[in-house]
Structure 1
Amino acid sequence: MTSRKRQKRGQKHDRQSVPDVVGSWGFLLSLAFLILTIWPLLHLFLMNEIKEAQYRVDAIRNNITRIQQSIIEIDSEIARLSRADRIKYIAVHQLGMVDSQPTVDVIEVE
């Protein structure tokens, strides 16, 4: 009779450990499934964020290049408009100004 009790105890112990093993395997399998599905999605999300950041950086670099080109053009325009001969021409012909340097008249007395 003692051997039957031992067998029943062993069977009860075996019955309890099967759900424990299945439960732990189920947990591990579900964890592996989550890792295998979330990892590629996370990778795609991060790659998308990186591409968007690169696009923004390229757009900013293009803006910087355009602004630098505009600065060069404006400096050239300033140099052209600041020429002394151009200023004198506009002053005399368009504004009717006269030469501000006094002239010396020479009078000869005999």
Structure 2
Amino acid sequence: MTGVGERPQEKVGPLELTAFLCELAMLGLLVLAGIAVMDSLLGRVLVAIALPAAAAWIWSVWMAPTSRRRLTNPSRLYAQVVLFAVVGLIVGWALGWLVGVAFFVVSAGVFAERYRRELRTT
């Protein structure tokens, strides 16, 4: 039973765990990309902090389950795919295109499947 204003507890399975790992991978890859694109130590530190911070802010405002401004689906899925594409491009440019494409394909696929399953349960 949930109280007023509380969200029902979501089931956590392998797909939800994989989605969470994709979110963590996004942040970690952005740190590595930030380190790779700059020559100076200060530049590396600043970009390695700024890139994942920007992605985390975007995610927390419009996509996080506890956000007050969380987008509804399918808009949330579209925003997630766009964010994954941008991160894939940044990672591809900084670390190699295979890494960027692999991140995008896996992340977009996982979140598309979550959306598909959400549609089946409603």
**Normalization by structure 2: what TM-score?**
0.22
Higher helix share: 1
Identify which of structures 1 and 2 has the higher relative contact order when contacts are C-alpha pairs closer than 8 Å and 6+ apart: 2
